[in-house]
Structure 1
Amino acid sequence: MGVKGLQYFMERCCPESCVTVNLREMARQHVSKTTDKSSSPTLVVDGMACLRHWYLCKDWVCGGQWKEYMSILKSWVGTFTSAGIHLVFFFDGVVEEKKRPQWVKRRRRVNGEVSKIFRYIKLHGEQPGKEHFSLPSGLATFTPFALRTLGQDVFCSVQEADYEIACYAHRHGCMGILGQDSDFIIFNSVPYLSVAKLHLGRLTTILYDREMLCRTIGLDVTQLPLLACLLGNDVVPEERMQAIRNKAMAAYRKPYDTAHSGVPQGQMVFAVSQFINSFCDREEEKSGLIPETLKLQDADRILLEKGICSYLLAGPEVPQQDARPATFEKYVSPEIIKACREKHVSAEGFMVYNVLCEGVIECSNSLEDEEDHELLPQAVVFKSSRQHIYGLLLLNRHNDSTVEPPAIREWLVYPGNPLEEPDMVLPVPICVPCAVPTVLVKIGEQPSLDLLWFGSGPDVSALRLMSFFSIFDCQEFAELHGVVEDFLLAALCLVTYIALQVPSLCSEDVDAYLSQAVCLRLKSLEELQQNKLPFLCSRAVQLGSLYVRGLSYMLGANCASGSPLPNAALMPWQSFDGQLFHSKYLLAHGCAEQMVLLDNNPSSLALFVQLREKHVEVCKKRNRVLQSQPDVSALVPSHTRCRNGHTDGGQNWRERGETSLGGWRRGSEQRLGGNSRAKLQGRPAYRGTGRGQYFHPHFHPPSMDGGDQSLTSRPEHPQSLWRPSRGRYQLAPRWRQPPASGT
């Protein structure tokens, strides 16, 4: 997030350091100064900072308008390409532990915003305004793949992304960095350009001139890192240097400076700058490191040194930081580690590098309603699949090691998780069916990672596919490979996995998921944009977010399995559109006929029936029979429902012909007496009040061991038992001795 108040200071107190530039003209000037006239001027783009400026789709709360988003990205990239500017994109690949406290602090803050979003939806039945805007779940995960699809150079960082961006731009002599982080003012790299001030049509923006800033405040460029740390940044918390700032303000504040008297932050920057100058007169103390005359406690000095060094770019005096050794390199071959790192850096993989080389994964906030006591958080739903991914990666016994399998540190944001420490999650081996040739895999063993990643031949291809589906306990779907399109096969697998994991999922939910995936392939961007929703249902919002998060775990499973499916098949713009899913959800829960659900298209209906029959078949094998449980709130929005059951908004929707509510709509709501899905389903739900939620002691999510998983039955396997731990959803600790089936 940069330096506390620095960019605001430059805009308000040092406006001469904020220069409006035309990027076309800047590119021409850059070319005229370079010796290689054949190369295009390069702009390095901080992808994470651009996400909010790229996602301009009107709908965001339903899970994302992914086809429209792709169109926006294509137009954005095309504008720079037509101006002769080459783009290089960087995205965060890791969260460095020194910045973990700030990461946690932001995640907690966003949790509060997400709660406001769901309260607004339930109160008004519509999407909140811009004041409560939240990016669709998974946007940061899938945007690098989208840009690669558009032919762009994309990199994923293995260190702090800001540092890698500044180093790359400096090393390659780029024309500038486009982002929104005042750290780029501190790095002694190429010019920093604001994406927030970018006018795409004119290709103009604001350049923050560090040289002019230094002249104004009387510092050398090499002293900017010290200034940044004393003011407060992601490495040095603001409160740690409060005493020094107080001392500086007491000594150097200018009470009669009318130009800055109304800007406290301006006074602070000037005062701290003068304070630095007061003990940096000697030439040897102008290096930007901590002067000896600055009296600090040992802990503060160490922290300050760490913060200053984080700004020193690799060069003749500062060598390039060596890549850290892989955390779990003893569990896999060196070739696997090398391939894993290469895929990560080139943004071709997901999740695998973080597991093998860092031993930790993160997942930011999702649109999840902490007051919904029936739907499980995505972190809980996909825990089984993550454990199988870890198992496939780490339980290979590459070196016949007898060491206990390592636990992965999970920093996943979900309701009830205080994020005080990571969840420690152990890997679980996958179980590949005996149909796989025993020459490749012995019975009872899981496939070798080297074979999956580097092997060749039809048998290996089949093994990759079976390993992928085994992660989600959907091995039967391998026989559909080549029969239906890959993205529909992936959607079928994901929906089935969700149904096996989420007891509250009903047949209407499955119909909504599958019908929108089938219909989306025939929808143009214009048709999707014309889709209007009569109102929003908070449960559908969370289900949409759940699906997109599931696609990200499928990406991780695909990478771990040796990529049996093309990554393109796992992209959300192939099988998901937020508004379309929401409309199908309202139709399905309104008891619309299947032909209506499938846009009255016979071929789509036939494909839908084929997928649904296969879904039902696999669920039945695992004793999971989904019931029909229409959602009351999907028939009439809660904000229009009165105490006596009458409404003032549902009738107009039906008259417009936007859905078919059926006979159930006309009488069931009055019988139920309000928005009570729990009454309708006649089953227990987990109890809780937001944070610290826990499951009802007699509630058991479905296990994956083949036991009875009906909604009224209780699975026998203790591994499926949930219990509270530090206010979080957590499995009973039975992973060290997984069942023989590997699930």
Structure 2
Amino acid sequence: MGVRGLQGFVGSTCPHICTVVNMRELAEQHRNKYPGCTPTIVVDAMCCLRYWYTPESWICGGQWREYYSALRDFVTAFTSAGIKLIFFFDGMVEPGKRDEWVKRRLKNNREISKIFHYIKSKRDQPGRNMFFIPSGLAIFTRFALKTLGQETFCSLQEADYEVASYGLQHNCLGILGEDTDYLIYDTCPYFSIGDLCLESLQTIMLCREKLCESLGLHVADLPLLACLLGNDITPEGMFESFRYKCLSSYASVKENAGKKGNIILAVSDYISKVLHLYQGEKKIEEMLPLGPNKALFYKGVTSYLLPGQKSPWLVLKPKGVITENQMVSLNPESKQEDPMCIDPEFKQEVAVCTNPESMQEVPMCTDPEPTQEASMCSDPDSKQEVPMCSDPDFKPEVPMCTDPDSKPEVSLYTNPESKQNLPSEIDTEFNLEALMSAQPEVKQEDAMEMEPEVKQATVVSESEILKVARMHHVHSESYLVYNIMSSGEVECSNTLEDQLDQALPSQAFIYRPVRQRVYSLLLGDWKDEASTGPVVKEWFVYPGNSLKHPDLVRPLQMTIQGGTPTLEVLWLSQEPAAQARRLDTLLACFNLSSSREELQAVESPLRALCCLLVYLFVQVDTLSLEDLHAFIAQALCLQGKSTSQLMHLQLDYINSRAVQLGSLLVRGLTTLVLVNSACGFPWTTSEFMPWNVFDGKLFHQKYLQSEKGYAVEVLLEQNRSWLTKFHNLKAVVCKACSKENRRIVGRTHWNSHYSVGGKGDRATAPTGRAPHTAIPGSHGETRVQGEECGKRINAQTPPSFQGVIRVTSPSLISKDSS
């Protein structure tokens, strides 16, 4: 994250940039300077997850009660000092950042392999130096903060841009995070979360003005410096030769600065002495070796320009000199068109972002012909790379521009638990195109792997429905719903999964049939015999997936008594019968309609967990009776445990399979968030929050006991009331599974229980290789050659997985997915 090498440079070469401050004292000064204004700190939540996760145990799936308690302490420390917190989370991966996202995910895969190797060899949790945040931490942190009464936003673009914009526009006390990009943005002060002492509210403030003073630069030069050094938009290698030329001619090399530090000093020296000298006489592309990367460079610089700001390094063609092919419509409901601005000698189009107040133009450009050198450039066909849209009536920075204290009243159905109202931007002049970038056309090589009738996912046309989806997204009430509807593209980061485990499929495949039914629900209007529906791009991390391409996944139709309800009914209807329709739809997404009565009889908060367990055990044949006992026992025992008791719980050893099962269940809970929000919130979110139904260490303890053959009474700690509930829950799960011809047996019966194929969309594990190694998307996207090869693959691939477009070579089935 941030600018390459800048964090180390600041710490080693320019420590005077870092100032120890007390935020309680700064808040008091702010109140004196601005009477009646509450001191507010904008929090980049994604930067803070590691700081917030303080529980000692992290390997077992998450210590959620402890984590929730830590978050509560964090919030209390600031509120007691009279400081308001505004939290921002990443809401999507911008196309131009996909390569960087993939690079980090593959790096995480290597780290996870080391973690499982350590567990198997040591039977213990690795040290904090190998710490990997529990699955779903970011998702559930949003809901935890909302439960704690905090304003929590999910970004519509790059989160750090929205954080910096909010801080600037609302005169905030500062930004709390750990990203050197906040030194580059010309916004409010930047505080380090890593150096925060919660008891005293003392931390380090990094001053961009002092940084400029040390480098001989102006604040307006910092975006230029960031792009020349390399960041998430301009690859580090793009200006590598230029940086070394600067270094070779730099006369003030410092021994204590190190190689990267001296490069930063040399590039800054070149900007201040050479570029400043000719600035105004020559354009930036005449002074720098931009070459074919000109558009990418411009995009990098403009990505740091907040609303109302401009860069002295960007020269634009005077307004009014435009041609017909330079026009672009930003609002499909409006006939007005906003011009594209083009530099006189810059042949590529530069989309203009117009601030409605300042009317200053900011170029937003993409490289239509990315080269190898600019490998991180976004898809040239994608329309999503514009950070700020130019419709003067629409402010895409919704969370930054919305007055936190304002409470507009809009009569739309929303999450009954939500205490936040719809944003004021939901009105008749809503700019849809700013939300829904057109999905890129399927590339030629992808089309060769599709059946002719396959269509790319398209956005939902009903504007009101999309507005509601956007509102839930912005206010962190949903998960993936808006992404599916607006772009047809979703992603899921790494999960603690053992790539050498041949018995358990990846969570990406286990929950794929559920996601496919959600796609059917959200994308709709394709259910005719001549069409197989659109496809959704899935960037899901799983063992063996190179992430060179997304998996193209078709929706999966589901059967609901009375027909599938529309999104208007699910999301907007206030009729009493609508709630029953929402529940019917949720159960249909898990293919559990036949067990509605039994599941409804289960008390909260175990009802949602029971639904998830039924789905898991139907889906995965290698889950045993012992696994079921462990899942149910931990859920019941959790109800009687205090946070302190869970914290001091000790484990005899760590089991790698139990680690994977813990992560698998938590990913199931995140899937419940998706389904529940897509279906109009038939269940309250508290029913599937992990701190109410799951504790990783407690589950691990019950798993180890169950594996050793302990009696149910021992698992339940001799609690008679829990014993009754245990048998009732077990009966519900087993009965529901039997309706799908799935008989849950103990491990002693496994050898006779394995089977190839399976009913419905079950992720059956045949003898030999686990099914997920035959799933599309892994091993470099190798295409099947010949009809017979296709038959061999499909024989081991569950029917729902056959809805994925790409397939792998069957010769890879017998290989490890490393």
TM-score, normalising length from structure 2?
0.76
2:764 and 2:798 in contact (8 A); partners too: no
User: Counterpart in 1 of 2:203?
Assistant: 205
Q: How does 1:388-403 map to 2 (within 5 A)?
A: 388-396=517-525
The one of 298, 301, 317 aligned to 2:294: 301
2:636 and 2:726 in contact (8 A); partners too: yes
User: Counterpart in 2 of 1:312?
Assistant: 305
RMSD: 2.7
2:619 and 2:761 in contact (8 A); partners too: no
- Comparing 37-46 with 161-170, greater Cα deviation is found at 37-46
For residues 49 and 246 of structure 1, the distance between their equivalents in structure 2, rounded to whole angstroms, comes to: 31
Query: Structure 1 residue 148 and structure 2 residue 146: aligned?
Result: yes
What's the CA shift for 1:332?
A: 4.5
- Comparing 273-282 with 74-83, greater Cα deviation is found at 273-282
The one of 539, 549, 555 aligned to 1:421: 549
Q: How does 1:11-160 map to 2 (within 5 A)?
A: 11-34=11-34, 37-160=35-158
For residues 197 and 721 of structure 1, the distance between their equivalents in structure 2, rounded to whole angstroms, comes to: 43
User: Counterpart in 2 of 1:511?
Assistant: 629
| Matched letter for residue 506 of structure 1 | S
2:215 and 2:265 in contact (8 A); partners too: yes
1:290 and 1:305 in contact (8 A); partners too: no
For residues 607 and 251 of structure 2, the distance between their equivalents in structure 1, rounded to whole angstroms, comes to: 66
2:481 and 2:677 in contact (8 A); partners too: yes
User: Counterpart in 1 of 2:233?
Assistant: 235
1:24 and 1:203 in contact (8 A); partners too: yes
User: Counterpart in 1 of 2:284?
Assistant: 291
Provide, for residues 436-458 of structure 1, a one-character-per-residue CA deviation record: whole Å limited to 9, x for no partner: xxxxx3xxx42212111112333
For residues 494 and 354 of structure 1, the distance between their equivalents in structure 2, rounded to whole angstroms, comes to: 23
User: Counterpart in 2 of 1:493?
Assistant: 611
Q: How does 1:266-285 map to 2 (within 5 A)?
A: 266-281=261-276, 285=280
- Comparing 243-252 with 41-50, greater Cα deviation is found at 243-252
- Comparing 507-516 with 262-271, greater Cα deviation is found at 262-271
2:620 and 2:764 in contact (8 A); partners too: no
2:741 and 2:759 in contact (8 A); partners too: no
For residues 533 and 283 of structure 2, the distance between their equivalents in structure 1, rounded to whole angstroms, comes to: 43
C-alpha change, 1:402 and 1:223, in structure 2 (3 Å) is farther
Query: Structure 1 residue 531 and structure 2 residue 587: aligned?
Result: no
1:378 and 1:549 in contact (8 A); partners too: yes
Query: Structure 1 residue 264 and structure 2 residue 264: aligned?
Result: no
For residues 51 and 767 of structure 2, the distance between their equivalents in structure 1, rounded to whole angstroms, comes to: 49
User: Counterpart in 1 of 2:221?
Assistant: 223
Query: Structure 1 residue 520 and structure 2 residue 589: aligned?
Result: no
Provide, for residues 195-216 of structure 1, a one-character-per-residue CA deviation record: whole Å limited to 9, x for no partner: 0111111111111111111111
User: Counterpart in 1 of 2:698?
Assistant: 580
Q: How does 1:663-702 map to 2 (within 5 A)?
A: 681-682=750-751, 700=756, 702=758
For residues 113 and 766 of structure 2, the distance between their equivalents in structure 1, rounded to whole angstroms, comes to: 31
For residues 231 and 401 of structure 1, the distance between their equivalents in structure 2, rounded to whole angstroms, comes to: 54
| Matched letter for residue 302 of structure 1 | A
User: Counterpart in 1 of 2:474?
Assistant: 345
The one of 187, 190, 209 aligned to 2:188: 190
What's the CA shift for 1:351?
A: 1.2
For residues 114 and 683 of structure 1, the distance between their equivalents in structure 2, rounded to whole angstroms, comes to: 33
User: Counterpart in 2 of 1:250?
Assistant: 248
Say which SS state the counterpart of residue 176 (structure 2) adopts: strand
C-alpha change, 1:712 and 1:423, in structure 2 (3 Å) is closer
For residues 92 and 253 of structure 1, the distance between their equivalents in structure 2, rounded to whole angstroms, comes to: 42
For residues 189 and 251 of structure 2, the distance between their equivalents in structure 1, rounded to whole angstroms, comes to: 30
| Matched letter for residue 264 of structure 2 | V
For residues 276 and 375 of structure 1, the distance between their equivalents in structure 2, rounded to whole angstroms, comes to: 55
1:508 and 1:588 in contact (8 A); partners too: yes
2:458 and 2:487 in contact (8 A); partners too: no
User: Counterpart in 1 of 2:745?
Assistant: 627
For residues 127 and 721 of structure 1, the distance between their equivalents in structure 2, rounded to whole angstroms, comes to: 27
1:595 and 1:601 in contact (8 A); partners too: yes
Query: Structure 1 residue 356 and structure 2 residue 485: aligned?
Result: yes
For residues 270 and 721 of structure 1, the distance between their equivalents in structure 2, rounded to whole angstroms, comes to: 49
1:42 and 1:85 in contact (8 A); partners too: yes
2:634 and 2:702 in contact (8 A); partners too: yes
User: Counterpart in 2 of 1:607?
Assistant: 725
What's the CA shift for 1:430?
A: 1.7
What's the CA shift for 1:277?
A: 2.2
1:122 and 1:538 in contact (8 A); partners too: yes
Q: How does 1:349-388 map to 2 (within 5 A)?
A: 349-388=478-517
Provide, for residues 411-452 of structure 1, a one-character-per-residue CA deviation record: whole Å limited to 9, x for no partner: 1111110111100001112211x3xxxxxx3xxx42212111
What's the CA shift for 1:38?
A: 2.2
For residues 621 and 613 of structure 1, the distance between their equivalents in structure 2, rounded to whole angstroms, comes to: 12
Moved over 4 A (4+): 282-286, 326-330, 400-404, 709-714, 719-726, 728-734
Say which SS state the counterpart of residue 286 (structure 2) adopts: coil
User: Counterpart in 1 of 2:447?
Assistant: none
Provide, for residues 40-91 of structure 1, a one-character-per-residue CA deviation record: whole Å limited to 9, x for no partner: 1000001000000000101100001101100010011100111111000000
Provide, for residues 136-157 of structure 1, a one-character-per-residue CA deviation record: whole Å limited to 9, x for no partner: 1110111010000000010000
For residues 530 and 31 of structure 2, the distance between their equivalents in structure 1, rounded to whole angstroms, comes to: 59
What's the CA shift for 1:705?
A: 6.5
Provide, for residues 279-313 of structure 1, a one-character-per-residue CA deviation record: whole Å limited to 9, x for no partner: 33358549xx9714324344211111111011000
C-alpha change, 1:250 and 1:705, in structure 2 (3 Å) is closer
For residues 314 and 115 of structure 1, the distance between their equivalents in structure 2, rounded to whole angstroms, comes to: 43
| Matched letter for residue 470 of structure 1 | A
What's the CA shift for 1:318?
A: 5.0
What's the CA shift for 1:266?
A: 2.0
Give me the identity figure in percent: 41
Provide, for residues 209-263 of structure 1, a one-character-per-residue CA deviation record: whole Å limited to 9, x for no partner: 11111111111111100100111111011011101101111112424x4xx4452
For residues 71 and 261 of structure 1, the distance between their equivalents in structure 2, rounded to whole angstroms, comes to: 43
User: Counterpart in 2 of 1:554?
Assistant: 672
Query: Structure 1 residue 703 and structure 2 residue 759: aligned?
Result: yes
C-alpha change, 1:627 and 1:422, in structure 2 (3 Å) is same
Provide, for residues 637-673 of structure 1, a one-character-per-residue CA deviation record: whole Å limited to 9, x for no partner: xxxxxxxxxxxxxxxxxxxxxxxxxxxxxxxxxxxxx
For residues 86 and 598 of structure 2, the distance between their equivalents in structure 1, rounded to whole angstroms, comes to: 39
The one of 762, 785, 803 aligned to 1:735: 803
For residues 682 and 452 of structure 1, the distance between their equivalents in structure 2, rounded to whole angstroms, comes to: 45
What's the CA shift for 1:684?
A: 9.8
For residues 559 and 11 of structure 2, the distance between their equivalents in structure 1, rounded to whole angstroms, comes to: 60
Say which SS state the counterpart of residue 74 (structure 2) adopts: helix
1:492 and 1:615 in contact (8 A); partners too: yes
Say which SS state the counterpart of residue 478 (structure 2) adopts: coil
For residues 752 and 227 of structure 2, the distance between their equivalents in structure 1, rounded to whole angstroms, comes to: 55
TM-score, normalising length from structure 1?
0.83
1:331 and 1:394 in contact (8 A); partners too: yes
User: Counterpart in 2 of 1:325?
Assistant: 436
Say which SS state the counterpart of residue 368 (structure 1) adopts: coil
For residues 41 and 179 of structure 1, the distance between their equivalents in structure 2, rounded to whole angstroms, comes to: 17
1:533 and 1:583 in contact (8 A); partners too: yes
2:505 and 2:772 in contact (8 A); partners too: no
Say which SS state the counterpart of residue 747 (structure 2) adopts: coil
Say which SS state the counterpart of residue 459 (structure 1) adopts: helix
For residues 412 and 364 of structure 1, the distance between their equivalents in structure 2, rounded to whole angstroms, comes to: 7
For residues 179 and 452 of structure 1, the distance between their equivalents in structure 2, rounded to whole angstroms, comes to: 38
2:492 and 2:540 in contact (8 A); partners too: yes
